[in-house]
Amino acid sequence: MNKVLNNPAIVAALGIFAGTAVGIGWFWRAADTLVMHAIASLPPKPIEESRVQGWDFWTIEIDGLASELKEERARLRQQAELLNQRAARVAAEQQELAKIRTDLEAMRTEIGRKIIEVTADESKNLRTLAQTYSGLTPKGAVAILREMDDTTIVKILSLMKAESVGPIFEEMAKTSAPDGTLARRAALLSEKLRLMKSSKTS
């Protein structure tokens, strides 16, 4: 061993080797630091479009499925709009039907108010009164009838013969009243009598 260490060539070789090893070690340490610094200075990796869409991958099949879903959504939206329009039309028609029904009820009430009917309970008494007034003079009959309401007068006149009713109306046209004569009332009674006869024949 001492011989080897006393040899100048071997000692020089060992010195060169040791210096080289130390230099390589220092180089690798410095290179590692430089590499880490370079990695840290790199810009961040951009987010892929596929990840923004919610998947890590994007295929033709998924693209087709997305298109079908969009078309289906558009179709459903269109159907919803059509249903809303139809519902609005139905609501408008129902309002119109309700208005017509209300108008018909009002017309029926008005007609019922104008048309006078003789019930079975009062028929006997009214016939007796009709016979009584038929035996009176037109002036006497008018004097009594003018104190009655129009409905009772029409019921009595409807049970009298035409040859008895005519002179009574003629006398009413000549009889004075606060507003002139009873001609206007005679005309109203005549109209109600016409409606009553029409209802009896129908």
Say if residue 51's pLDDT is above 50.
no
| Res. 180: pLDDT tops 90 | no
H or E, element range at 44: none
Q: How far apart are CA 110 and CA 130, in angstroms?
A: 27
| pLDDT tens digits for range 117-151 | 667 777 888 889 899 999 999 999 999 998 999 88
Q: Token match 């005679």: residue?
A: 186
Residues 65 and 55: their CA atoms lie apart, in Å, by 14
Q: Which pLDDT value is given to residue 24?
A: 64
* Secondary structure (DSSP) of 114-138: H-----HHHHHHHHHHHHHHHTS-H
> Is a pLDDT exceeding 70 seen at residue 28?
no
> Cα–Cα distance between 118 and 130 in angstroms, integer?
13
CB 134 within 8 A of CB 172: no
Higher pLDDT, 180 or 163: 163
Cα 124 to Cα 139: distance, rounded to the nearest angstrom: 25
- State the pTM of this model: 0.42
At 74-94, the pLDDT tens digits run 999 999 999 999 999 898 888
